[in-house]
Each structure stands twice: as structure tokens, then as C-alpha cells.
Amino acid sequence: MAFALTSSSSSTAISVSSFPRSNSSSDLKVPQIGSVWLPERHATVNLSRRRCAVKAVNADPKRNDSIVPLAATVAAPEVLEKEEAEDFQQLAKELDNASPLEIMDKALEKFGDDIAIAFSGAEDVALIEYAKLTGRPFRVFSLDTGRLNPETYRFFSEVEKHYGIRIEYMFPDAVEVQALVRSKGLFSFYEDGHQECCRVRKVRPLRRALKGLRAWITGQRKDQSPGTRSEVPVVQVDPVFEGLDGGIGSLVKWNPVANVDGKDIWNFLRAMNVPVNGLHSQGYVSIGCEPCTRPVLPGQHEREGRWWWEDAKAKECGLHKGNLKEDTAAQVNGIGNGAASANGSATESDIFNGQSLVTLSRTGIENLARLENRKEPWLVVLYAPWCRFCQAMEDSYVELAEKLAGSGMKVAKFRADGEQKEYAKRELQLGSFPTILFFPKHSSKPIKYASEKRDVDSLMAFISALR
Ligand code: SF4
């Protein structure tokens, strides 16, 4: 059901859905329209600024499958006001030292009804609290993948009650889920990676949601993922998804807590007495789907609790894949780093060039793998010089080799991309680059290093446990 509000001064009319919008501010002067609370000042700001569409919302097919099928729209005069292009890169610079509250306020002020908070059911509840504190109306949506923990569903309900809101849930397409599960089972992501399942259960529903918006608000923080989130700006033109007007560049992404540390988020939640997901008290930090999330131990990075069977620096489910650098994305997609690298004719300069490191040829590693009794144990990294993750561990691996020089332990490298890749996958347990293998003294079978921590101390601990 929709309500209509006519403004005689501007000759515009606004139709407002009866969908409950959030407005926790009790001290603003708010005229009630049906069941919708619409503060006067924001209606005015939004009406004058929003790019106007002549067609009613429901007549626009682009909105039909979005989270805003009936949200506010403006029937405008025939001659439309041209919206000034905003330089969001510049705005990001200006807001880089602003508080999350200021950034949230700016986002809600600028986009009114056309922006929504993406809520995962974890500590990004802080976004909802910040939105409430601005006193502006705000909207919240969430992706119900069908695989969330019971605690997360209960938390959604608690948040709805606490803030007096209705979360706008997005669900995956039933036919797509059915096809995936019937053909590959319920846990295919453990075998061939999480991308396919995430695409069906998260990315496509998100894409549909965003097609009804002009901006969204996320809880991304720089400290969440060293590989993928270290350069997240507080606001950016979304590099991946499209908004209501269609085309790349039609959606703005706000990250109000990009510069905030995880511990400061928690200080804020405690100070404001905000409800939190019960899983946090069981050791979970980052929370996603039940089969793909686990608690982390003290000192472990929070992202180690997500898709722990995959590489640490590629852990994006697709919701923020714009964070992935080109080569990272290529690697995640299994297409290497362009044809030159993939076919082994790469011209990149080599890496792991320490004096204490042994370079193994194909024959060398075949011989090493055949030996039942070695004079000393070996640690070997299977690498590709173009791989960012290999590059990232280069210093620590070279340092490790120097530390172990003369200790009766050999440290080596074997370039395993290009034409060596099939062999390495078949015989040396290569899954992704880098793969680190320990060849014990008295066994031919190498032991694969399973952790994503590749600093000197972690590698030393691995070697000490096996020597
Ligand atoms: Fe599927 Fe796991 Fe991604 Fe959830 S997080 S959508 S269960 S792969």
C-alpha cells in the first residue's frame, strides 16, 4: 500500500510506501503519514536534491525486484533538474578523518530513501546504532542465505525489536539454490571453493537489492582483511555493482567504519549497550554462514574464522570483490595472472632470491620426493613469481632460510606455475599459491603447511613440531 503526499510549492508529489522505515529519533518534529514517519527537514532535502523520475516507482521495472519496490519516489516536472556529478574520491579525502557518525550522517543526508545499510548480523550492528544517533530515517537490509546460524536469526529479531525497525531481507533464487544443491550437494564449497555458493546465495540477491538503491552502507574495515580491505575508503563509487540508474558508476558505497579498529567498534557497542550476536561470546568474531564460519583462537586474525580452507588474502564472498586486485581476482577465479603467466612463459623477475635458498628444478624436486631417507629435512615453497601471496611472504621466507642455514634443515623453492602446475597439483598437493611442504628425513611423503600465517615465527613453529 502506498500513500501520496503532494507539495504545492514545488509541484511535486511523493508516494511513500507503508513499509516501516526506521526513525528512532523521538525529538524531531515528524508528521505522520499513514504508518510512515517522515521528518519534515529530510523530505525537503531529498525532494530538492534527488534525481527525479517521471515514472511512478511501480511502473519502473528496474525497481520491481529490489528491496525498494514501493519506496519513496518523486513524480517530477517534465524538465528534470540535472544532478551535479559529485567527486566521491575528493569527498573520501575530505571525510577520511571524520568520525563514523559524521560519515553516516553525510551518507543519509545525501541519499535519503535511496540508501540502505547492509547488515550481516555481526558487529556491523554498530552501523545501525550510528544511523539511529544521526536522528535521520534509515533503512536496513540483510541477505538471508538460508545457511545462517540460529543465533544470527535470533539476533536479527532482537535488533528489529531494539530499534523498532523491520530488516528488509533478501533471499536467494529458489531455482538457483535447488540446481546447485541437487547437482553438487550441500557442502560443495569445501571441495571447489566458496565462490559458486556465495554467488547464488549472496551476490545475486545483493545485486538485486542494490539495483533499487543509489547508495549502500557497509561495515567494511581496513583491519578486517590484510589482503583485501587494507585500502577501503570511507566513500567510493562502487566499482562492481550497479544502482538504480544502471551501469557501473551508478551506485555509491559508504564505509563509515573503514578507519576504525575492531576493538574500537567493540568499545562503542559496549558503551552504547547495543545488543550483539550471541556467537561472539562463543569465540566468533567475523560472522557469516554457519558452515563457513568458525570461532578463532586468541591472537588469530578474525578472517581466519571464515572460509578457513582457502587462502587468507582472497577471502571475499563477492559482496566486496571490488577490493580484490586484478591478479588476486584472477587467481580466485582460477585463471592465473593473464596468459603469459598461466602458460609458463612469464617474464616476471623471479622471487625468493636469498643466498641460503636452494632452487629446485623439476628433476630436483622429483628426486627429493622419491627419497625415503634424506640426509636432512627440507622445506619447499611451491610458488609463482606473479602471485601476490607469494610476493607477500618473500621476505619472511628468505629470512627463515637464513636463520636455518647450517642447522641441518634445507629451505628451497620450486616454481610450480605454467607447465609445472599439473605435475605440482597431481604429485605435490598444490591447491593454490603458495603451497609450503615439509619433507621429513625418514618419509617420502611431504607434509603440507595448512595455516595461512606465513611469518617467520609461524613457519618456525611448524618446522619445530615436525623435525
Ligand atoms: Fe555458501 Fe558458505 Fe558463501 Fe554462505 S558463506 S553463501 S554457505 S559458500
C-alpha cell, 54: 517521471
For residue 436, how far is its CA from the centre of ligand 1 (angstroms)?
A: 27
Task: State the pLDDT at residue 104.
Answer: 97
Task: State the pLDDT at residue 57.
Answer: 26
For residue 383, how far is its CA from the centre of ligand 1 (angstroms)?
A: 28
Task: State the pLDDT at residue 7.
Answer: 35
C-alpha cell, 183: 547437482
Average pLDDT over residues 256-267: 93
Who lines ligand 1 at CB under 6 A?
A: 145, 147, 189, 194, 197-198, 201-202, 288-289, 291-292, 317
CA dist 15 and 4 (Å) reads 4
Residue nearest to atom 6 of ligand 1 (CA): 198
Q: Specify whether 317 is catalytic.
A: no
State the Cα torsion 248-253-259-264 to the nearest 10°: -150
Q: Give the model confidence (pLDDT) of 273-296 as tens digits.
A: 999 999 999 988 888 999 999 888
Mutational test site, ligand 1, from 189, 195, 204, 316, max ligand atoms within 8 Å of CB? 189
Instruction: Return the higher-pLDDT residue of 252 and 441.
Output: 252
Residue nearest to atom 2 of ligand 1 (CA): 292
Residue nearest to atom 7 of ligand 1 (CA): 289
Q: Specify whether 292 is catalytic.
A: no
For residue 289, how far is its CA from the centre of ligand 1 (angstroms)?
A: 6
Q: Rounded to whole angstroms, what are the CA distances from 306 to 145, 294, 445?
A: 15, 7, 29
Average pLDDT over residues 441-463: 86
Closest CA to 50 of 202, 165, 237, 213: 213
For residue 138, how far is its CA from the centre of ligand 1 (angstroms)?
A: 28
Average pLDDT over residues 55-79: 38
Give the torsion sign (CA, 33, 71, 164, 25). negative
Residue nearest to atom 3 of ligand 1 (CA): 198
Give the torsion sign (CA, 267, 272, 278, 281). positive
Q: Beta-strand (E) ranges in 18-85?
A: 32-33, 36-37, 73-75
C-alpha cell, 29: 518534529
Task: Say if CB 262 and CB 284 are below 8 A apart.
Answer: no
Task: State the pLDDT at residue 161.
Answer: 97
Task: State the pLDDT at residue 26.
Answer: 36
Closest CA to 463 of 441, 430, 431: 441
Grade residue 248 by pLDDT with cuts at 50, 70 and 90: confident
Average pLDDT over residues 22-41: 35
Q: Helix 88-95 crosses helix 100-111 at what angle (to 10 degrees)?
A: 150
For residue 326, how far is its CA from the centre of ligand 1 (angstroms)?
A: 23
Q: How many CB atoms lie within 10 A of CB 185?
A: 11
pLDDT over threshold 90, residue 202:
yes
Cβ neighbors of 59 (< 8 A, separation 6 or more) are: none
CA dist 209 and 68 (Å) reads 8
| pTM of the full structure | 0.57
Residue nearest to atom 5 of ligand 1 (CA): 289
For residue 147, the ligand 1 atom closest to its alpha carbon is 7
- Tell me what percent of the residues of the chain surpass a pLDDT of 90: 50
Average pLDDT over residues 70-79: 36
CA dist 5 and 269 (Å) reads 38
Q: Give the model confidence (pLDDT) of 84-137 as tens digits.
A: 578 999 999 999 999 999 999 999 999 999 999 999 999 999 999 999 999 999
Q: Give the model confidence (pLDDT) of 126-152 as tens digits.
A: 999 999 999 999 999 999 999 999 999
Q: Give the model confidence (pLDDT) of 349-367 as tens digits.
A: 789 988 899 999 999 999 8
Residue nearest to atom 4 of ligand 1 (CA): 289
C-alpha cell, 322: 571490488
For residue 292, how far is its CA from the centre of ligand 1 (angstroms)?
A: 6
For residue 288, the ligand 1 atom closest to its alpha carbon is 5
pLDDT over threshold 70, residue 383:
yes
Task: State the pLDDT at residue 388.
Answer: 75
Residue found by looking up cell 559529485 in the block: 86
Q: Give the model confidence (pLDDT) of 314-345 as tens digits.
A: 555 455 656 655 443 333 333 233 222 333 33
